[in-house]
Amino acid sequence: MSTPAIIPPPVLVLVRPQLGENIGKAARAMLNFGLVEMRLVSPRDGWPNPSAGPAASGADVVLEEAQVFETVSEAVADCAHVYATTVRKRGVTKPVVTPEGAARAIHAGPGRSAILFGPERSGLETDDIALARTIITVPINPEFGSLNLAQAVILIAYEWSKAERLASPPHVDLPPPALQEELDGMIAQLDAMLAETDFFFPPERTPVTRRTLRTLLTKPGWSAQEVRTVRGVLSALAGKQPRGR
């Protein structure tokens, strides 16, 4: 049986980025979702840029390994699939997919994929888009289609990362739930204290009030420790020393 081909993570290509801070923020977004290969095409202020590091907030590995190219063609020469991110199709007839659709295609492979992101002010030019085989367009408010560079990178990187299962939420051991008799004991203790203070008034409302209290106290799904704690509080309020102390 042949071993399935390993599909490399996509390369993110920032085309003529303008501000070092935005490059750093894009690097931060990339590393959050497990992407480390950044390529820069003719960054306006040159490279390396001292403003990128602080904005990357620790994503130094992305910046340190970033490669610089003169043209988009050179930056994607080793890639089998090239995607252009834009909210405007600009009359170019190419397949259009969402970030989720692009992520599925990238994971399906084979070959390395590159994703192009345009300059902050104007986005990708028509000639840049012409180099791509597929356009990625984010479903966005047609009245306000304005994403900054890092936001666009986050959207694409997140969709790619979902299939990677980079991490799972930490497992937390929940305390054992309270037994029904423990919960009933707490409610009975509170009921007795309230009765002593003439809380249940007028008398004809007592069944409804007691039912409301029971509903309230049984909603959260108390743990045994929570019940013991509340009963200790009630005992203290009643002027008694809590048990076990």
| Structural domains for the chain | 11-162 (3.40.1280.10), 180-237 (no CATH)
Which candidate, 61, 78, 67, 73, places its Cα nearest to that of 40? 67
Q: What is the pLDDT of residues 91-112, one digit of tens each?
A: 667 889 999 999 999 998 788 9
Rounded average pLDDT over 179-194: 89
What is the share, in percent, of the chain residues with pLDDT greater than 70? 90
Say which residue, 142 or 5, is predicted with more confidence: 142
In the structure encoding, which two tokens stand for residue 41, read together?
Answer: 């095409």
Q: What is the pLDDT of residues 124-157, one digit of tens each?
A: 998 999 899 999 998 888 788 778 899 999 999 9
Q: How far apart are CA 136 and CA 127, in angstroms?
A: 16
pLDDT at 181 over 80: yes
CA of 187: how far to CAs of 199, 230, 238, in Å? 14, 10, 14
